[in-house]
Amino acid sequence: MPTLPSESPAPSDPEPHRQRHIAESFGVDAERYDRARPRYPDDLIDRIATRPGLDLLDVGCGTGIAARQLRDAGCRVLGVEPDKRMAAQARRTGIETEVATFEDWDPAGREFDMVTAAQSWHWVDPVAGAIKAARILRPGGRLALFAHVIAPPQPIALAQMAAIRRLMPDSPFATQQGDGSPERAADVYRAGMTKFIDGIREAGGFGSPEEWRFDWQHSYTRAEWLDLAPTTGALTRLPQPTLTELLDEVGEAIDALGGTFTMTYVTLAVSAVREPADT
């Protein structure tokens, strides 16, 4: 699938949560990450923040992008983030953040109305994570896991894939196949969401998982897209000369489209409600 890869080390990886070297690479430029990464659609935020004052834990909160949106929607947000650099950026933007992986994080008796994970649940063991979420959610509380499908127009996707295959032949992303279409990319991400659903069901304690989908668009200039690209899992660990060469090639593809393009985003979500203990 020649798309711009997201956090997942490779869509075919059955256990991405074990790829800590990639998971902990996003903090190399936390300010860029916070600046360039897309926000989440208002419809999704509204569906999560159903009333003011919800106590919400944001797992793998990164620099606090989703956390700030949820805070601004009236939630009381606590972030958990394993990367100290990302956590520091989140704190600078006003999000209280504790440094730990979710599996190792100590709730210290705290309970929540919501547990969310934005672009991060694939770094959490899907069963252990769901079990822990069930333990800290109040009855009737909701677990909501969501992620963007990051798939630029086909000419840009194909240009990046060609550069990855030439410059990074040993990368897991170099073996991806596909036509570069957003729907093809969405199919791959839906497979990941299926793993989340399976983990929730295996963990127990939740009602039937729901699947949500949000379609929206965002326009990018050449500079804006090339600012975002280095924050994705395929590129975060590249040496600067290699990254520069790759971005030059992607930039040429954007120039051929007139220097700007409109990205069709798909944001996918899985959600489940914590059942009362006696059900």
Stronger pLDDT, 178 or 242, i.e. the higher one: 242
Q: Flag whether 55 is in a domain.
A: yes
Say whether pLDDT at 56 is over 90.
Answer: yes
Query: How many domains are there within the chain?
Result: 1
Looking only at the bridges linking them, the beta strands covering 260-273 and 210-221 are: antiparallel
**Does 129 fall in a domain?**
yes
- 3 state DSSP class of 182: helix
Grade residue 49 by pLDDT with cuts at 50, 70 and 90: very high
Q: What CATH number is attached to the domain comprising 25?
A: 3.40.50.150
User: Contact 197/270 with Cβ under 8 angstroms?
Assistant: yes
1-34 pLDDT per residue, tens: 233 444 443 444 455 554 545 555 665 789 999 9
The pLDDT tens digits for 61-73 are 999 999 999 999 9
- On the question of pLDDT at 113 being above 70, the answer is yes
Distance CA 40, CA 62 (A): 14
User: Quick one: average pLDDT of 106-133?
Assistant: 97
pLDDT attached to residue 27: 59
The answer to whether the beta carbons of residues 209 and 201 sit under 8 Å apart is yes
pLDDT at position 142 is: 98
Has residue 48 been placed in a domain? yes
Which of 237, 225, 171, 207 has the alpha carbon at shortest distance from 22?
Answer: 237
Q: How much is the pLDDT for 5?
A: 42
Say how many C-beta atoms besides its own lie within 10 A of residue 194's C-beta: 13
Tell whether the torsion through CA atoms of 220, 223, 229 and 231 is positive or negative: negative
Mean pLDDT of the chain, nearest integer: 88
Could you tell me if residue 120 is inside a domain? yes
The helix/strand/coil state of 113 is: strand
pLDDT tens column, 74-98? 999 999 999 999 999 999 999 999 9
Segment among 11-15, 225-229, 233-237 with least mean pLDDT: 11-15
Residue 23 lies in a domain: yes
- What pLDDT is stored for residue 178 in this prediction? 55
Boundaries of domain holding 44: 16-153+180-218+263-274
Asked if the structure places residue 49 within a domain, the reply is yes
The answer to whether position 253 is within a domain reads: no
Which structure tokens are listed for 241? 């000369």
Rounded to whole angstroms, the Cα distance separating 183 from 201 reads 26
Cα dihedral 85→221→38→45 (10° resolution): 150
pLDDT reading at 175 higher than 80: no
CA 30 and chain centroid, separation: 15
What secondary structure letter does DSSP report for 59?
E
Whether 193 is covered by a domain: the verdict is yes
